[in-house]
Amino acid sequence: MMGILRVKDKRVVSRVVDVLERGGVCVVPTDTVYGLIANATDEKAVQKIFSIKGRLKDKAVSIFVDDIHMARQYAEILEKVEDFLERVWPGPVMGVFKAAHQNGLSSVLAGRKGTVGMRAPDHEFLQKILSSVDFPLAQSSANISGKLPAKHVDEVVLYFQNKEIQPDLVVDGGALGRRPSTVVDFSRNKPTVLREGAVSKKKILGLLQELGLL
């Protein structure tokens, strides 16, 4: 049975950190939808996210980072791209980058393409978690693979309550209404918007042009 705590519970940050440090997986509210999170440097913990979702291993999951400094430890990020990230982070924009060599991340995070998706979330609770641990967070939307991302904790329970492998802890942050993050691929010569989400494609392209990235 999954344990559920409210996001305003005084124990919640320490409980989540404890689960993550022991290799567990938590469901938490984010600035978009509910997400599954785990220690991104722990192979078994990341594998557990795939098992919970029923996700194929060739479909990479992304990571949450505290800031651009942390992002540089795990990916190759050009200086001009850092200027872009400073304008959109923290926030619902994910960048896809070439993974840094020997970056210490779980081997399944980069998938088959040698790239890693990451963003700094604009969510007070998640920021507290990131500032309390010394590793980035592997993250994926809280749902069974192929289903819609959960926007309420009741949906989380319905997805996972009868599964053999479940999240270790669920944090109830109320109803979430935002769209998933917008995804921008920086792993090639020319940036490409892979998915339009909470931030419009028009706004992203305008910013990329302003910064000389297009």
Tell me what the mean pLDDT of segment 180-204 comes to.
Answer: 95
Alpha carbon of residue 91 to chain centroid: 11
Sign of the torsion angle spanned by Cα atoms 192, 198, 203, 209: negative
Given a cut of 80, whether residue 192 has pLDDT beyond it is: yes
- Report the percentage of the chain scoring pLDDT > 70: 97
CA distances from 168 to 38, 76, 80, 99, 185 (A): 10, 33, 40, 29, 32
d(CA 179, CA 31): 9
Given a cut of 80, whether residue 103 has pLDDT beyond it is: no
Residue 112: the pLDDT is 62
Residue 58: the pLDDT is 67
Split at pLDDT 50, 70, 90, the class of 110 is low
Domains of the chain, each with CATH number or no CATH: 3-210 (3.90.870.10)
Kindly state the tokens that stand for 178. 């935002």
Residue 14: the pLDDT is 97
CA distances from 65 to 69, 72, 94, 95, 163 (A): 9, 10, 11, 11, 29
Residue 2: the pLDDT is 78
Residue 56: the pLDDT is 73
- Report the percentage of the chain scoring pLDDT > 90: 84
Given a cut of 90, whether residue 25 has pLDDT beyond it is: yes
Kindly state the tokens that stand for 116. 């890693």
Split at pLDDT 50, 70, 90, the class of 101 is confident
- Could you report the per-residue pLDDT of 83-96, keeping only the tens digit for each? 999 999 999 999 99
Residue 1: the pLDDT is 63
Q: Where is average pLDDT lowest: 35-39, 97-101, 120-124, 183-187?
A: 97-101
d(CA 46, CA 200): 30
Q: Where is average pLDDT lowest: 108-112, 136-140, 167-171, 203-207?
A: 108-112
Determine if the peptide bond prior to 90 is cis (ω within 30°).
yes
Tell me what the mean pLDDT of segment 41-61 comes to.
Answer: 88
- Start-to-end CA distance of the chain, whole Å, equals 50
- Could you report the per-residue pLDDT of 71-81, keeping only the tens digit for each? 999 999 999 99
